[in-house]
Amino acid sequence: MSSSGMRRALCRAVLTASLLVPRLDSEARERLVFGTNWKAEAEHGGFYQALAEGRYARYGLDIEIRPGGPMVNILHLLAAGLLDAAMLSNNAQSVNLHLRRVPVVTVAAFFQREPQALLTHPGSPHASIADMKGAPILISMDTRETWWRYFKLKFGFSDTQIRPYTFQMAPFLADKDAIVQGYITSEPFMLRHEGVDPRIFPIADTGWPSYSTLIAVPRRLSDGKPDVVQAFIDASIEGWYSYLYGDPRPANRLIRADNPEMTEELIAYGIAAMKAHGIVDSGDALARGIGAMTWERLDSFFEVMAADGVYPEALDHRAAYDLRFVNKGHGLTMRR
């Protein structure tokens, strides 16, 4: 065959292939605005991967990822109807929204393990979190109503130990006896660049039963358009498998575009830490797929918090969740 004939044959093949792929114009897709709980980072990688690889588009969705940050109140935006989906940090936020009668529901949990930890200097005398009873600890305002309450119940911690944490490491670096909260996936990396190799005490290792990085949507969406919610969850699940076990560069480009302060080295560290600590793909997700939630674990979280008086024991906490969209093993074949 001549070179011109080969070109014509190739053009026909490309045209035929293009006709076999459904074309969804942006106007025909369901538009959703998804708010994250912080600035773009590796911990959001699966969602950015689903966007970068066109997985949301293939499910008929037009997704805008709207990053959060220290001055962005995701829960207020969700409650006000300004977001179609929002990333929650833990189960406490799910139950709190229900307790306040906000018409939203949690539909997936993308982190099986809490990524937060307590960090100390390498010469610290503390051998465990239990040993930190009575010691000053830098924590954020939000933390006081979540795993700190659990630590008070389990280890006898007291509010007199609390020192304010404003997401700046300078106070920790200046005090060799300090203890500070931080994400396993980021703060240790940044501290090592400051010459401190911290000791890391994961919150999840204490038995803290909460999931993390949960997805909440308005009930008008889960009840009125469950197929749209299912599409968003399925595409996000695929994005996470692709991000963890495939080539993460498509997502990383979008992450760095949304957050120019994020470096390739920090992103790579975050991915490695998520894998090493089983943050995403462990626990219930191993058999049920990423995003999994079980009533057993959700009940366990509520019982722990109700025992500390955080919630009334008669509260129907299960009404805060809708498990129709997960636990189906979706994407398991993508795991390597």
pLDDT in tens, 186-201: 999 999 999 999 999 9
Beta strands in 96-218 (DSSP E): 104-111, 116-120, 137-139, 162-164, 179-183, 199-202, 212-218
CA separation for the pair 175, 40 (Å, rounded): 29
CA separation for the pair 37, 116 (Å, rounded): 14
pTM: 0.90
Q: Looking at residue 27, what is its pLDDT?
A: 60
Q: What integer best gives the mean pLDDT of the chain? A: 92
Q: Looking at residue 71, what is its pLDDT?
A: 87
pLDDT exceeds cutoff 80 at 130: yes
Res. 241 pLDDT band, cuts 50 70 90: very high
Q: Looking at residue 26, what is its pLDDT?
A: 52
Q: Taking residues 125-138, report their average pLDDT.
A: 97
Q: How far is CA 194 from CA 173, 187, 189, 272, in A?
A: 8, 11, 9, 20
**No. of H helices and E strands in the chain?**
14, 10
Q: Taking residues 159-180, report their average pLDDT.
A: 95
pLDDT exceeds cutoff 80 at 237: yes
Q: Taking residues 94-104, report their average pLDDT.
A: 96
Q: Looking at residue 15, what is its pLDDT?
A: 35
With pLDDT > 90 as the criterion, what percentage of the chain qualifies?
88
Q: What is the dihedral of CA 257, 260, 262, 264, to 10 degrees?
A: 70
Burial degree of 246 (CB within 10 A; 0-12, 13-18, 19+): middle
pLDDT exceeds cutoff 50 at 8: no
Q: How many CB atoms lie within 10 A of CB 145?
A: 14
pLDDT (tens digit, 9 = 90+) per residue, 268-324? 999 999 999 999 999 999 999 999 999 999 999 999 999 888 999 999 999 999 999
β-bridge partners, 162 = 137
